[in-house]
Amino acid sequence: MTAEHRSGCPINLSLEVFGDRWSLIILRDMIFGGRRHFRELLNGSLEGIASNILADRLKRLMELGLLTKADDPSHKQKAIYSLTEMAITLVPIMAQLGAWGRVWLPVTEELSIRAELLEKGGPPLWDQFMDELRHEHLGAPSKSPSGTPTVRQQLRAAYEEVVARKAEATVD
């Protein structure tokens, strides 16, 4: 045990990384929402993170090795954040957190449909998603057949379908 950690317990050490209010939300938005710029993360979060908190958490996630930051080639005043392998391997954990939350917490249908699909797809879907994230963030070769929807596209389509069905039901 070092002075900077309370103990060498893997659960404790993981909570030291993710136990704050925002780190997993930022990673969720990057993994599932495809958000990679500061403004996208700031304005796209349902939970409404403050800009100073976002800046602090992004810095911390980079220091911990979960994110990298580079200049965005499309705009010289923007930076682009990328997931590292360490962050990409959180997909199964995120899927399990979503599955647990669907069972025990008062979730909404539209915000839990992605968790349901990830749960049903299990490890094969998680592996496919992690491969796609490696391609997107790390430049690894794509293993997915071209022309097929990505996991993120499938999850988004399911979300949009639920939102549309609920909107239609309120009009009727």
CA proximity to 62, closest of 32, 28, 17: 17
Q: Is 95 strand, coil or helix?
A: helix
Convert the pLDDT of each residue in 7-41 to its tens digit: 889 988 888 888 888 999 999 999 999 999 999 99
CA proximity to 32, closest of 127, 151, 157, 116: 151
Asked if residue 1 has pLDDT above 60, the reply is: no
| CB < 8 Å & 24+ apart, contacts of 129-134 | 129/91, 130/88, 130/89, 130/91, 133/31, 133/83, 133/88, 133/91, 134/85, 134/88
The whole-number average pLDDT for the span 133-150 is: 92
The whole-number average pLDDT for the span 109-123 is: 96
Convert the pLDDT of each residue in 33-87 to its tens digit: 999 999 999 999 889 999 999 999 999 999 999 999 999 888 888 999 999 999 9
**Which residues fall within 8 angstroms of residue 56, CB to CB, at 6 or more apart?**
none
